[in-house]
Amino acid sequence: MYVVGLTGGIGSGKTAASDYLASLGIGVVDADVVARDIVAIGQPALTQIAQHFGSDILQADGSLNRSALRAIVFHQPSERKVLESITHPAIRQRIQQQLANSTSPYTLLVSPLLFESGQYQFANRSLVIDASEDLQRQRASQRDGVSREQITSIMAAQLTRAERLQKADDIVINHGDLEELYQQLDLVHQRYLQLCQTY
């Protein structure tokens, strides 16, 4: 099993890159999707979260009230650590299962916090999709409709652009249009196909 960890800052083009590589037949494990799945109704992690934080963090239908939980952990670092102690092991286990079940030549592990979370340890190589911080802000604002303050807060929780680039094995610069992005991805895709054959 050959794994490429794909990451980048908010608005860098991670989703466009992973969607394109998926269209070429590459399996994708998305850490954000896994993080949502492990706190779905009926999942053990949600039960543990509700037991610790109380029923106020649940919606009327029993699903997680993310904004209520976020308000607690944002202002109380000790509570954030409790939340992470519940969710991180479940996320790691689910990622490992999904990677093991992948049948494509190599598999992408898409994670906005690949390095910060330690998920890079699952990967043989890391691929950073890079864009200038101004372009990241512009794309994130247009795509998500979030405020400049929210975008700045998200960026502050991630490695700096320079730190991310320093840790990368491979870098795709995404300052242009999708066609330019796809051309660069075609090159790294061919490289990964060669690397996974010799792995």
Task: Please tell me whether the overall predicted TM-score, pTM, comes out greater than 0.85 for this model.
Answer: yes
* Same-domain status, 44 and 2: no
Cβ 188 vs Cβ 128: under 8 Å: no
* Same-domain status, 117 and 70: no
Q: Which of 103, 118, 139 is at the close of a domain?
A: 103
* Same-domain status, 110 and 199: yes
> What residue numbers bound the domain in which 44 lies?
39-103
Cβ 141 vs Cβ 114: under 8 Å: no
| Domain count along the chain | 2
* Same-domain status, 137 and 48: no
| 31 occurs within a structural domain | no
Question: How are beta strands 107-110 and 170-173 bridged, if at all?
Answer: unpaired
| 95 occurs within a structural domain | yes
List the CATH number of the domain containing 125. 3.40.50.300
* Same-domain status, 125 and 180: yes
* Same-domain status, 86 and 144: no
Cα(49)–Cα(87) distance, integer angstroms? 9
Q: Which of 103, 119, 144 is at the close of a domain?
A: 103
Per-residue pLDDT at 143: 75
| 32 occurs within a structural domain | no
* Same-domain status, 90 and 186: no
Per-residue pLDDT at 89: 93
Q: Which of 58, 77, 103 is at the close of a domain?
A: 103
Per-residue pLDDT at 139: 83
| 34 occurs within a structural domain | no
pLDDT tens digits, the chain, 199 residues: what are they?
999 999 998 889 999 999 999 999 999 999 999 999 999 999 999 999 999 999 999 999 999 998 889 888 878 889 989 999 999 999 999 999 999 999 999 999 999 989 988 999 999 999 999 998 888 888 877 776 777 777 777 777 788 889 999 999 999 999 989 999 999 999 999 999 999 998 8
Cβ 1 vs Cβ 104: under 8 Å: no
Cα(2)–Cα(192) distance, integer angstroms? 9
Per-residue pLDDT at 123: 97
